Structure 1
Amino acid sequence: MRSAGRRLRRRGQQPAALARLRGVDPKTTRRVLDAAGARQLPEQLDVLPDPPAEQQPEPDHPEITLDLPGLLADHWQASVRLQTAHASLQYASVRARQTSADADTALAAFPQALPLTPVPALPGDPLAQAAGRIRDDCEQLSRVAYETFHGRSAQPLSGSDLQLIICWRSLGTMLTGRLLLQAATEAPTEAGTLLRSCADRLRSAARVWRDVQERWDRVVDVDDPRIRPRLPRPSYDMVRRGQVSRMPQATGLHPAVEIARASVLRAGRLLFGGDWDPDSGGGPPRTRPAADILADSGGVAELAQTVYSLTVVDWRIAVSAPRAVTAIEHRLLTDVPEHCPAGHPYRFYPLHDHQLERLRTSFQQVCAAQQAVAQMLLVTAPAIGMDTSRAVLDAAAHRHITAQTWASVPAPSPAVRGPVVSPSATLGRGARV
């Protein structure tokens, strides 16, 4: 090919003529001539070119340039990138194993945190899905409690949000106790007795929620005054003088309020039927047969597991609520006349320190009551076949949420059954789950 190129150069012919002579594509001919260096030959072939001024040593690893077509070059680059990603993933896995060597292995079984997107409870929803959706609501509320406790909420809870959540959880705790009472009628004698004990503790927990709700009576959040005492209408003279201003309007309900309401609606419709609504008037609703409730909830064990999830999320809400109160204490007002400062010209005044402390400490009673319910459910678990593996995960979560050391929760033995001592009202003591 080099000699042919020289002959063509002497004759003044172009590579296209060589292509026609050989019967190949002209581009292929030019590529071969360029690779052989035949097109860069001097005009006089019998005269050697001048040597370069300085000879450059050849590198040990010369660069290799591949002349690849477009599609093949793209595949080559993709292969290189995949190999780089593979090496990076291997390095990341080694680093992750080294970093998480001392981590709690029980946390690996936790489900992913659900997004805070409320799933409304519609009257036409199948009752067979109510128990599963209640557990999903508990996962979402647990995320709200965790973000509130650590100050990571994109939308912090307001005073009105807290009052609404307390109201819904008070009603929800009472409804779950009624569900266990209905389930006790279909359970064996021993299991039925234990379920009734759980229902009694749930009734006590509902009363504690109601006490917390009463302590929030006549407390107003000035940034979100949706829940406030009834105010008199301003007089004509006040309006004429411009002494009346409109109430601040909140941006909207916190997702936790809608989730708490949806969980209560699902529990109530599981107990009373698909058309139950707490806001509707009329007489007391009629309870569904126990067999239908257990059929829709998946049995006694699944129903107890759902009640346990509600108990755990109530404990987490009660643990994180004091942090929420501390974050908004500067904008809480009240009009209780007993504690109004002397000479205060207005009806509402900021809460005193002892009033704020009462709001915070009221949630400790909720923690103690919910721990007592959870402990009783764990005692009942062997008699009804309830799976307690989630209790181990919740104990690990409690350690990480509260930075406290919690005892592990093994499956209780039937020989240990008996009366359970109620935990004290101090946070972090008593029955630990």
Structure 2
Amino acid sequence: MPLTLGETFDAAAEEVQSAARTLPPVLAPEQLGALVSSLRELVDQLRAYPQQYARDPGHLPRASGAVHTVMSETSADLRAYLSTAAERVAQAAELSGGPVVPFSPSGSLEAAGQRLAISRDLLRSHRDPDGRPTTPYVVVIAQARAQRYVLRRVADVAWAAGRYADQLASRTSPSTVRAALEGTRDALDRAAVFGRQANQDAPAEMAALPFAPALTPRQYQLDTTPVLDGLAEDGDRLVRAAFQASRQERPFSGSDLQQIARSMAMGHLLAGRVLLEMGAAHTEPVAAALGDGAARLRTAAQAWQHTAQAWRWFVDTADPREHPSLPRYAYDVKRLGRAGLLPRTQPHPVTADAHAMAVRIGRFLYGSDWLPENGPRAARDVAAMLDEVGGLEPLLTGLYRLPATGRALAEAGPHHVQHVAGGLVTHDIDRRPLHVGETHGRFYPPTVQQLNALTDTYTPTARAAQKAADQLVTIAHGSGAEMLRARLDAAVQHAPTPPPPPAAAEGASVRVSAAAARSRSTTVSDQRRTAPQSENRPAHLPAGQQSPQRRRTR
């Protein structure tokens, strides 16, 4: 599964506890120096974390030149006692003296520090280097309750570090070093107590915050990657792409939107089939709930298919990969050089993710050699499928990612249509304007009614996907599973959406320029030769024209 915020803190605390359990009963002087130095580095990381996190994701407006963060009061005691612990462990490192040599048990503390660094990188991944949001989860990260969760988990690691300092002090012979380590333990214990007490209302769903994946093309390993891990990673990439595309940072084209709609329709249909197979192997009332979930997934699949059918009448001139069959050029048209090639464009990287989600579910249902071109066949044994994913609860958690991702894509759909509307043409003869004759051509600009009809298809699609996701959450809760990711997604839905950048807001209804369309293309559709610049021709005259020459007189 993709790395989450809660897993990073759990791993850090486990590494510290493992280091405490593996301490030898007697320590040599050089071993003591190495262990104290590792503890000092860990405490420094704990000390720096609350200050950096409270300022990075979001802060209140500055007043009178002072930085006043939303966590300035609740994290004051935590930072104070962590600073005291850093001073005492630094004193212990100086008193231990001697050369510091590598010692194997200290590797666990180093690994704990790495996990803390990864957690900070995870939080930063939801913003770009310039501080702009890259995922919708940034609005939750900036809230005070989310920051309390992080400080509470820092307090948990501080408590484990205090136990390590206590074990290290009990094995230390010099009284001065032992006293400094005991002071470190006391400060870490107080930091843990105050940190937990001040952050009791920390939302548990923040543990499901994922690492924002990069939107770069990648090689898909459908056979080696576990199906639930693949669904989670593909869904995170699609959610990030939909968020950034709605802000005109890396928009979808019309062909991308049509391909994504087809893949989402197939994926929801296959997911509904999986629930039907599971329902046949279970008894009531689980079977009825699974059947209801399958019905809602089929409804979402039909809505996505309706959206894909609506795109069938449109062609994006900037990315005409999806277009109807075109007649061949006549011989005289080619001879006169009037035939032009369609631009060869590359699809958005996440169109492959949408297709991969459907293929993963299909192979989970029908076997590892299944392809969409093969069509349906006999499903695998239910026991084998449940054994592969670890039970019904993990399966429901993994399948939830499909309708949740579909809802995010459908909610952003109207923004995508608005962005590409200026470059769309249609070939729907029933909607052809009256002033356009038969000789005008096969394609013509769409009417406002056609564009509105295309945009309106996304509203019922988002509603159907949300109902399917809610039903999967209900089934999981009935089985005793707690979907923290669903609670996190619900918090994002109720949080205010961050405003788009000024440039994107001003040009939200403007189609990409012709230069941008040409930069997206890998071939030139119409190459025209221009006359070379003549040395005797003024620069202000167009190519092929010359200024009048005076007649020479003898």
TM class, shorter-length: 0.5 to 0.7
**Aligned to 2:361, which of 264, 267, 282?**
267
Structure-1-length-normalised TM-score: 0.67
CA 1:273–1:358: 2 relative to 1, 3 Å: same
CA 1:300–1:91: 2 relative to 1, 3 Å: closer
Aligned residues: 314
CA 1:303–1:343: 2 relative to 1, 3 Å: same
- Which letter does structure 1 place at the counterpart of 2:319? D
Instruction: Spell out, residue by residue over 1:156-187, the C-alpha distance to the aligned partner (whole angstroms, 9 max, x if none).
Output: 21110110000100000000001111111233
**1:403 deviation in Å?**
7.1
CA 1:388–1:367: 2 relative to 1, 3 Å: same
- Which letter does structure 2 place at the counterpart of 1:295? D
Instruction: Spell out, residue by residue over 1:273-317, the C-alpha distance to the aligned partner (whole angstroms, 9 max, x if none).
Output: 00001134xx64221111111111221111111121111110000
Are 1:277 and 2:247 matched, yes or no? no
- Which letter does structure 1 place at the counterpart of 2:241? V
- Which letter does structure 1 place at the counterpart of 2:430? E
Structure 2: 5+ residue stretches without partners:
1-44, 60-67, 72-142, 147-202, 500-554
Could you tell me which residue of structure 2 aligns to residue 32 of structure 1? none
**1:90 deviation in Å?**
7.9
Could you tell me which residue of structure 1 aligns to residue 343 of structure 2? 248
- Which letter does structure 2 place at the counterpart of 1:132? D
- 1:216–1:359 Cα contact (<8 Å) kept: yes
Are 1:185 and 2:263 matched, yes or no? no
Could you tell me which residue of structure 2 aligns to residue 103 of structure 1? 144
Distance 2:48 2:349 in 1: 39
**1:188 deviation in Å?**
3.1
Distance 1:91 1:386 in 2: 35
- 1:238–1:244 Cα contact (<8 Å) kept: yes
Could you tell me which residue of structure 1 aligns to residue 230 of structure 2? 133
Distance 2:49 2:280 in 1: 56
Could you tell me which residue of structure 2 aligns to residue 48 of structure 1? none
- Greater Cα offset, 236-245 or 353-362: 236-245
CA 1:324–1:93: 2 relative to 1, 3 Å: closer
**Aligned to 2:485, which of 390, 412, 425?**
390
Are 1:114 and 2:213 matched, yes or no? yes
Structure-2-length-normalised TM-score: 0.53
- 1:123–1:275 Cα contact (<8 Å) kept: no
- 2:393–2:479 Cα contact (<8 Å) kept: yes
Could you tell me which residue of structure 2 aligns to residue 293 of structure 1? 385
- 2:54–2:70 Cα contact (<8 Å) kept: no
CA 1:234–1:104: 2 relative to 1, 3 Å: farther
CA 1:148–1:360: 2 relative to 1, 3 Å: same
Distance 1:392 1:90 in 2: 24
Q: Helix, strand or coil for the counterpart of 1:333?
A: strand
TM-align CA RMSD: 2.6
**Aligned to 2:246, which of 149, 168, 183?**
149
CA 1:87–1:171: 2 relative to 1, 3 Å: closer
- 1:149–1:320 Cα contact (<8 Å) kept: yes
Structure 1: 5+ residue stretches without partners:
1-84, 405-433
Are 1:175 and 2:270 matched, yes or no? yes
Could you tell me which residue of structure 2 aligns to residue 309 of structure 1? 401
- 2:407–2:466 Cα contact (<8 Å) kept: yes
CA 1:188–1:383: 2 relative to 1, 3 Å: farther
Are 1:350 and 2:445 matched, yes or no? yes
**Aligned to 1:360, which of 443, 455, 465?**
455
Q: Helix, strand or coil for the counterpart of 2:315?
A: strand
**1:343 deviation in Å?**
3.2
Distance 1:390 1:160 in 2: 31
CA 1:122–1:113: 2 relative to 1, 3 Å: closer
Distance 1:294 1:89 in 2: 40
Distance 2:48 2:470 in 1: 46
1:22-61 alignment runs, 5 A limit: none
Could you tell me which residue of structure 2 aligns to residue 334 of structure 1? 426
- 1:120–1:262 Cα contact (<8 Å) kept: no
Are 1:228 and 2:323 matched, yes or no? yes
| Same amino acid, percent of matched pairs | 31
**Aligned to 2:464, which of 352, 356, 369?**
369
- 2:255–2:321 Cα contact (<8 Å) kept: yes
- 2:206–2:488 Cα contact (<8 Å) kept: no
CA 1:113–1:190: 2 relative to 1, 3 Å: same
**1:93 deviation in Å?**
5.7
Are 1:160 and 2:255 matched, yes or no? yes
- 2:222–2:360 Cα contact (<8 Å) kept: no
- Greater Cα offset, 357-366 or 380-389: 380-389
CA 1:382–1:123: 2 relative to 1, 3 Å: closer
Q: Helix, strand or coil for the counterpart of 1:310?
A: helix
**1:234 deviation in Å?**
1.0
- Which letter does structure 2 place at the counterpart of 1:271? L
- Which letter does structure 2 place at the counterpart of 1:232? P
**1:89 deviation in Å?**
7.8
CA 1:402–1:351: 2 relative to 1, 3 Å: farther
- 1:149–1:401 Cα contact (<8 Å) kept: no
